[in-house]
Structure 1
Amino acid sequence: MESLGQVLKQMKGPSFLKRSQAIFDELLSDPIVKELREEHPELDHDMLRTNLPRLYQYVNDRRNCGNCPGLAKCPNDFEGHFSKLETSVLNGQLELVERKAPCSLQIAQQNEDQIKKRIRSFYVDERALQEGYNEVEIMGKDRLRAPAVNQVFRYIRDVKEQGLTPQGLYLYGSFGTGKTFLMSYLLHELAIGGYTGVIVYMPEFVEDLKSMLQDNQKLKDTVEVMKNCDLLIFDDIGAENISPWVRDHVLGAILNFRMNRKPTFYTSNYDLGGLEKHLSFTSKDGEEMHKGQRLMDRISPFVDVVHLHGENQRRSRN
């Protein structure tokens, strides 16, 4: 909608004054202005007339918001904001002050942006973090998943009420049962409460570590992020082709730092016994049971095990 200046800019002399007065009279009869005057009875006729441009902008913004087409198509001059009029006394004189206030959609978008800034992902499909979450849908997709879903919900609730503890979750189950999705939901919900989080897709992370051998600073920065974030999720652990160096010097260093400090979470197709066998064998050195056990000593005591039963959701979508 045109501003008052655009409406009047081509008018001069009597025609300008006449059109300006007509607009003012129309505004005075508008329910939006009547409501404003009820809230601020100190606003008299002369003050409103003096502040006609502000009044015009205020009414236009309120009308646009009343027929909101969505944030992306906001017709207001300042997208996602509306004009708000308030009175103020300056040097003993009453003044009408205009300021731009964010609408509810803008505030929600800003909050969501802040949540996303608290979450980092390494090699995880961004759709798992961005497609939105519906608790009823999460629970109702597959009744076999209900016990595991309830345990994840309970963990989230406990953290919101009591704060973080060093205890995380170990979520295991068959391929395609929604393990990554549930952990992403947990990350998102706790990020709303201000916690930072990192989710790492293990097979690709381990492969990329090979290139980081040539970039010590990148390796150091990556490990530091994983050490210090509030919530760390190793997604699909056990599916990677692990090497002694990754197991002992990267994973070992991260978990050694986090245990007794911050919670670490895991998704896997293996139970804890199967994961220990996986971590005990490398293509380079063969089976080293004590090395696998040593790493598991930094995992098992610091997780509650959650067995996720259910159907393959990916297959059911095809």
Structure 2
Amino acid sequence: MEKERTIFGTDELLIMSTGLVDRESYQSLYHLYQPVIGVKALALYQTLWSELKPGKMKSNYMSHSALCEMLEYSINELTDNLFRLEAIGLVRTYKTKDARLTQYVYQLRVPLAPHTFLNDGLLSSFLFYKVGEVRFKQLQGRFTIDPLPAGIVEVTKDFNEVFDVKGVNHRAFTQKNYEKPDRAKIEINYSFDMDIVKKLTNFPVGFFTKKLDETITKLAYVSQLDEETMAEMLKEYFVHEAYLPLSEQEKRDGCRQMVLQLKKKQTRHRKEKTVELEETKLGDLHDPAVMEAAHPHQYVSTLRKTPQLSKSDEQLVIELVDTLGLAPGVINALFYYCIEVKKQTRLNENYVLRIATSWKTAGYTNAKEALEQEASQDALIEKKQQKRENVQRTTVGSRRKPQQGEMPKWLEDEAKQQRSYDQARKKELESSVRRGEGMERINQSLSQLMNRKEVREAYESIRRRTLNHPGVIAFLNAHPELEEKAIEIGFTKLSEYAEQMDGKTFIEEQAVIPGHQPVLYVDLGQIAIRYEETVAHRQARRQKEMDRKFKSLFLPEEVREASFESFDWADDARKIALREAMRFVTGMKSKQKVNGLYLHGSFGVGKTYLLAAIANELKVADIETILVHAPGFVSEAKRKIRTESFDSFLTSFQHVPVLLIDDIGAEAISPWVRDELFGIILQYRMMHRLPTLYSSNFSGEELETHFSIDGSAQNKMKAQRLMQRISTTTTQIELKGENRRR
């Protein structure tokens, strides 16, 4: 995935959509998305939707400059707001691989439903920052179904009170004949004992709940995991989070991500089980009985003729089993319906889930029922479509042609009269304009222009200078197959090349694209030109990227020169600190999951210097880092809190691969700084296993006292929660020695 993108006005774009925006989506868009992305980004999103062709899911090709004119945006404003839409998931952007022609495809995504948006921890947190507590609670209330008022009783009429059922044969309405089974429950024929998992993980009491047990059992079924493997994965994934107050939804989402991320780490028992499953031959894949008997892994991979299930298909199966609660046989039928009946080999997640939701609503319990009902529905839709196509209507003026019998004479005479008038009018217009008159005028104007002496001399001068250019001569000699006509057609390309090259030396001041020199080549018998990055520009860009990967905020410039070689390791404590720092860097270079460091000690013992040395080593290894001074960071956050840039400011500290916080504990602490700044950043980094390193004059216990502010019971609890995020993800090291700042 590219890290930098520059959009030019001449770049073409195509807009496509994955679905339609309904009323609920509009509610979510205006009330929830707009405060986060801003009015301009929302206007861009709506404009992209408006460019879709009527009745179609895509637009015509257009340029970015045309889009800018519609919105009255500069190209930079357009790019910034497009990135906002991409970041929040409303737009997915694709780019052509051909370097000679840059085209973008913008795939519009339907907004999340309000309850999904508000249940997302990250999105709801950003919304809270944007609108404030009062407005946030109002929005929560807007999208919450209110309970019935107190002090009321139900007076709804019963069926028997309204309808006369005295003469009805009641035996026809027994539950035995008409009662349907509980369609929300799926029977999983898979032996899995959650008690074994709980014993092996030894997580704190309260971590496992009934719903979490159900999710884990379903995930074990989908991915064919035994109890030992599932316990190993849970212990690895929730090594720290199991001891934190996570919501049930966070734990369930974590389990699903765990299965998708750690499925490759299989035990020998699981591998043998998988091989045994793959070797089992399936019968006729069109047979609903086979769909009912087969495991989704085996059936879908066999249907796709692949040795194993792809990650996207497995994610779909997990969604269908865990979220929608479809039975395995119905899931197999769903994949068969999409791939074999609808011929959709590349399954779109929204497409499959839309069909799955309708099947869930219809209450299908087995493959045969689902396929038969869908076949009858498809046949009905096709019949209506054919009927619609067969009904052809011809109109003259405002009158419709009768569907049966001959046309009335008065209507036939009127139609003939209309056709005669149209033909006469066409001939009149054609006779008023002489053929080729427009082109003759243009050619005449060009001929007059070229006959002017100064213009002709200037053109001949450019032509001689271009064709006598050493680079052009060398190119034409290397391609003797080029005909004179091809040279004339490609003369503008030759001139463009000659204007930027002094012999074979690139003239940077004349560059069409800064830092890129022109290169002539032949494409399908015609002269073409492309631009390649110069060595100097590549080196400068590389250095800029390295500098960008190490951001030092609110710290003195001398830390940029810090290194392990110049670190003073005179005593054992400093040797331990240096060894742990080097071990951390080595682990990051080898892409291992490593804990961060918490360096504490008195003033001037080298804590900041060692953090800077770590950051410099990671910079050389091309690992992005941010080293920030805690008091300056807090001041900057307070300054940005009421600006649009606060979101990106906060996100950069959440997402950076390695974050180093210097002098934590020296900042002016408040509940907002502790809970809404440090708390949100460190929670996100802990959940995504992104290492964070700290330096402080406080030990862990002293820092907890600092975070407790006034020492009240509530503040103490919140301080302990934050310290859990620090202590469980770091190795604490004390640095001793004399103050080197004196």
The normalised TM-score by structure 1 is 0.60
For residue 265 of structure 1, report the CA deviation from its aligned partner: 0.8
- 1:233 equivalent to 2:649? Answer no
Partner of 1:192: 620
| From 291, 296, 302, the counterpart of 2:723 | 296
Q: Is the alpha carbon distance of 1:312 and 1:110 closer, same or farther for their aligned partners in structure 2, counting shifts above 3 Å? A: farther
| From 588, 595, 613, the counterpart of 1:167 | 595
For residue 111 of structure 1, report the CA deviation from its aligned partner: 5.2
Partner of 1:259: 686
- Residues 142 and 311 in structure 1, CA contact (< 8 A), matched pair in contact too: no
Provide the C-alpha distance between the structure 1 equivalents of 2:677 and 2:731, rounded to a whole number of angstroms. 23
Provide the C-alpha distance between the structure 1 equivalents of 2:571 and 2:732, rounded to a whole number of angstroms. 20
- 1:281 equivalent to 2:709? Answer yes
Partner of 2:582: 153
| Structure 2: 5+ residue stretches without partners | 1-502, 506-532
Provide the C-alpha distance between the structure 1 equivalents of 2:687 and 2:714, rounded to a whole number of angstroms. 28
- The size of the alignment, in residue pairs, is 213
| Alignment map for 1:90-169 (pairs within 5 Å) | 112-129=543-560, 131-133=561-563, 135-140=564-569, 145-161=574-590, 163-165=591-593, 167-169=595-597
Which letter maps to 1:244? P
| From 618, 621, 633, the counterpart of 1:205 | 633
Q: Is the alpha carbon distance of 1:282 and 1:240 closer, same or farther for their aligned partners in structure 2, counting shifts above 3 Å? A: farther
Provide the C-alpha distance between the structure 2 equivalents of 1:294 and 1:141, rounded to a whole number of angstroms. 36
Query: What SS does the aligned partner of 2:731 have?
Result: strand
- Residues 200 and 235 in structure 1, CA contact (< 8 A), matched pair in contact too: yes
| Alignment map for 1:238-249 (pairs within 5 Å) | 238-249=665-676
Query: What SS does the aligned partner of 1:200 have?
Result: strand
Deviation larger for 304-313 or 110-119: 110-119
- Residues 244 and 282 in structure 1, CA contact (< 8 A), matched pair in contact too: no
Q: Is the alpha carbon distance of 1:204 and 1:287 closer, same or farther for their aligned partners in structure 2, counting shifts above 3 Å? A: farther
For residue 246 of structure 1, report the CA deviation from its aligned partner: 1.2
Provide the C-alpha distance between the structure 2 equivalents of 1:140 and 1:267, rounded to a whole number of angstroms. 17
Provide the C-alpha distance between the structure 2 equivalents of 1:188 and 1:304, rounded to a whole number of angstroms. 20
Q: Deviations over 1:52-105 (max 9, x none)?
A: x99xx9xxxxxxxxxxxxxxxxxxxxxxxxxxxxxxxxxxxxxxxxxx9969xx
| From 733, 737, 742, the counterpart of 1:306 | 733
Q: Is the alpha carbon distance of 1:303 and 1:111 closer, same or farther for their aligned partners in structure 2, counting shifts above 3 Å? A: same
| Structure 1: 5+ residue stretches without partners | 1-52, 58-99
| Alignment map for 1:20-35 (pairs within 5 Å) | none
Which letter maps to 2:707? L
Deviation larger for 139-148 or 106-115: 106-115
Provide the C-alpha distance between the structure 2 equivalents of 1:224 and 1:211, rounded to a whole number of angstroms. 16
Partner of 2:177: none
- Residues 600 and 699 in structure 2, CA contact (< 8 A), matched pair in contact too: yes
For residue 125 of structure 1, report the CA deviation from its aligned partner: 1.7
For residue 236 of structure 1, report the CA deviation from its aligned partner: 0.3
Provide the C-alpha distance between the structure 2 equivalents of 1:148 and 1:141, rounded to a whole number of angstroms. 11
- Residues 562 and 616 in structure 2, CA contact (< 8 A), matched pair in contact too: no
Which letter maps to 1:177? V
Which letter maps to 1:125? P
Provide the C-alpha distance between the structure 1 equivalents of 2:738 and 2:541, rounded to a whole number of angstroms. 36
Which letter maps to 1:167? N
Q: Deviations over 1:274-306 (max 9, x none)?
A: 1111111159x8972101001111111000111
Provide the C-alpha distance between the structure 2 equivalents of 1:144 and 1:168, rounded to a whole number of angstroms. 18
| Alignment map for 1:12-51 (pairs within 5 Å) | none
Q: Is the alpha carbon distance of 1:185 and 1:282 closer, same or farther for their aligned partners in structure 2, counting shifts above 3 Å? A: farther
For residue 152 of structure 1, report the CA deviation from its aligned partner: 0.9
Provide the C-alpha distance between the structure 2 equivalents of 1:101 and 1:208, rounded to a whole number of angstroms. 38
- Residues 227 and 257 in structure 1, CA contact (< 8 A), matched pair in contact too: yes
CA RMSD of aligned residues (A): 3.0
More RCO (CA 8 Å, sep 6+) = 1
Provide the C-alpha distance between the structure 2 equivalents of 1:258 and 1:176, rounded to a whole number of angstroms. 29
Provide the C-alpha distance between the structure 2 equivalents of 1:267 and 1:153, rounded to a whole number of angstroms. 16
Deviation larger for 301-310 or 200-209: 200-209
Query: What SS does the aligned partner of 2:635 have?
Result: helix
Provide the C-alpha distance between the structure 1 equivalents of 2:618 and 2:669, rounded to a whole number of angstroms. 30
Q: Deviations over 1:180-234 (max 9, x none)?
A: 111111111112222111111111222233222321x222111100000000111
Query: What SS does the aligned partner of 2:737 have?
Result: coil
Provide the C-alpha distance between the structure 2 equivalents of 1:305 and 1:127, rounded to a whole number of angstroms. 25
Q: Is the alpha carbon distance of 1:213 and 1:114 closer, same or farther for their aligned partners in structure 2, counting shifts above 3 Å? A: closer
Structure with the higher fraction of residues in strand conformation: 1
Q: Deviations over 1:96-122 (max 9, x none)?
A: xxxx9969xx99877554321111222
Q: Is the alpha carbon distance of 1:282 and 1:111 closer, same or farther for their aligned partners in structure 2, counting shifts above 3 Å? A: farther
Provide the C-alpha distance between the structure 2 equivalents of 1:114 and 1:141, rounded to a whole number of angstroms. 35
The normalised TM-score by structure 2 is 0.27
For residue 143 of structure 1, report the CA deviation from its aligned partner: 6.6
- Residues 573 and 734 in structure 2, CA contact (< 8 A), matched pair in contact too: no
Q: Is the alpha carbon distance of 1:101 and 1:120 closer, same or farther for their aligned partners in structure 2, counting shifts above 3 Å? A: closer
